Amino acid sequence: MMLRTCRVLYSQAGPSAGGWQPLSFDGAAFHLKGTGELTRALLVLRLCAWPPLVTHGLVLQAWSQRLLGSRLSGALLRASVYGQFVAGETAEEVRGCVQQLQTLGLRPLLAVPTEEEPDSAVKTGEAWYEGNLSAMLRCVDLSRGLLETPGTTGNILMQLKVTALTSSRLCKELTSWVRRPGAPSELSPERLAEAMDSGRGFQVPCLNAEQNQHLQSSLRRLQQVVQHARAQHVRLLVDAEYTSLNPALSLLVAALAVRWNSPREGGPWVWNTYQAYLKDTYEQLRRDAEAADRSGLAFGVKLVRGAYLDKERKVALLQGAKDPTQPDYEATRQSYSRCLELMLTHVSQRGPLCHLMVASHNEETVCQATKRMWELGIPLDGPVCFGQLLGMCDHVSLALGQAGYAVYKSIPYGSLEEVIPYLIRRAQENRSVLQGARRERELLSQELWRRLLGGA
């Protein structure tokens, strides 16, 4: 019904009826995929819609290893969940997966799956962050190497999780200072940018010696990744996390933006992520977009609904604090829609100085974005692109890609041991999306029946 409405709207609106192509998310684009792939997708999406599997995923994995042995259990995972949502372990496997996506008109958005464990001495030590730095630098090289036509730059994107390079404990501390009215002047984007650029000793008076030391190392790591990404023409999309960390993450992004999003650099090279499920996101986005405009900096935004709803609410309840999230799904929908409208208007006014990724699997959202792009005269393959997770909502990604839009699939890669805990946590955070993938499962089923019955 919604899609039908969308099509009617499209055909009535817009500056020139000739240029617009209505999108149809009816699974027709599945003809591009092999039967094996479709069958695996259907089985895995069915399995993931079963709540106990997601809730007890790690325990079940440990049991299956004990009962079947790690080889057989690993083979089963590779043929199912890992194969569906992960590109592979080696650079060669990632390349193979990406080449397949490219033939379908989709682009890679590589993500290094790192999970900090605040209670683990190993996964919070300086050596762990240094290891992650090396992984990020390799990811930049891999992203660059995956480019279809060497020489075409500007459209290589990669995800960056800041808490892989700096501890969430420090981010929490910074957040608590940033939120205070009289935050120290050292915690301004300009001062942090200066410190990153000079690499000289930098002390923030409100932090202790150990925290200052870790901040300095973190700034060096961030600067190193962005410097390398800039040299390789790879744009970095910084992930948004919890509200207890986000103000610190945004401060670090703002500091990086001072140096790397200046017009002479041809950026934006560092983008921030905005979560529409938070009550104050629209205002924050408006302020940041206007500030970037005033200071002449390029501005890059990944717009998402937000993945940590349950945890945000639980923490607010535990702390007796105000719930930062929207009261219900409809309020999040409206917030996303307003943020989207705001950003598309900015893009249409600022051109290539303002970039947007519409990171959503939601058909109505994608529909709204494509319609407004057409109305505002924003080119299909310009500063606005779309993002979906690998293995999810291929009927939306393929329809967009076939219509000529820039579509990125967020692609985790790494060994089974590294990626499965990450995938299970992601699945828990995106439980509602996996359970709501009913339409995708129906379309997959329809296509498989069609093939089985010998349809054209």
Ligand X SMILES: Cc1cc2nc3c(=O)[nH]c(=O)nc-3n(C[C@H](O)[C@H](O)[C@H](O)COP(=O)(O)OP(=O)(O)OC[C@H]3O[C@@H](n4cnc5c(N)ncnc54)[C@H](O)[C@@H]3O)c2cc1C
Residues that bind ligand X (CB under 6 A): 239-240, 273, 275, 277, 304-309, 325-326, 328-329, 332, 359-362, 365, 387-389, 410, 430, 432-433, 436
Helix intervals (H) in 270-391: 281-295, 309-319, 329-350, 363-376
Least distance from C-beta 302 to ligand X, angstroms?
6
Closer to ligand X at the Cβ: 258 or 411?
Answer: 411
How many helices (H) and strands (E) in the chain? 19, 8
Closer to ligand X at the Cβ: 369 or 444?
Answer: 369
Least distance from C-beta 110 to ligand X, angstroms?
11
Query: Tokens for 259?
Result: 């140096």
Least distance from C-beta 96 to ligand X, angstroms?
21
Closer to ligand X at the Cβ: 128 or 308?
Answer: 308
Helices 438-452 and 394-402: crossing angle in degrees, nearest 10, is 80
Closer to ligand X at the Cβ: 214 or 361?
Answer: 361
DSSP letter string over 374-438? HHHT--TTSSEEEEEETTS-HHHHHHHHHTT--EEEEEE-S-HHHHHHHHHHHHHHTHHHHHTTH
Least distance from C-beta 415 to ligand X, angstroms?
22
Least distance from C-beta 283 to ligand X, angstroms?
17
Closer to ligand X at the Cβ: 71 or 322?
Answer: 322
Closer to ligand X at the Cβ: 195 or 385?
Answer: 385
CA–CA distance, 163 with 51 (Å, rounded to integer): 28
End-to-end CA distance of the chain: 27
Least distance from C-beta 396 to ligand X, angstroms?
9
Helix intervals (H) in 86-202: 91-103, 126-145, 168-178, 189-198
β partners of residue 409: 108, 388
Q: Is 298 helix (H, G, I), strand (E, B) or coil?
A: coil
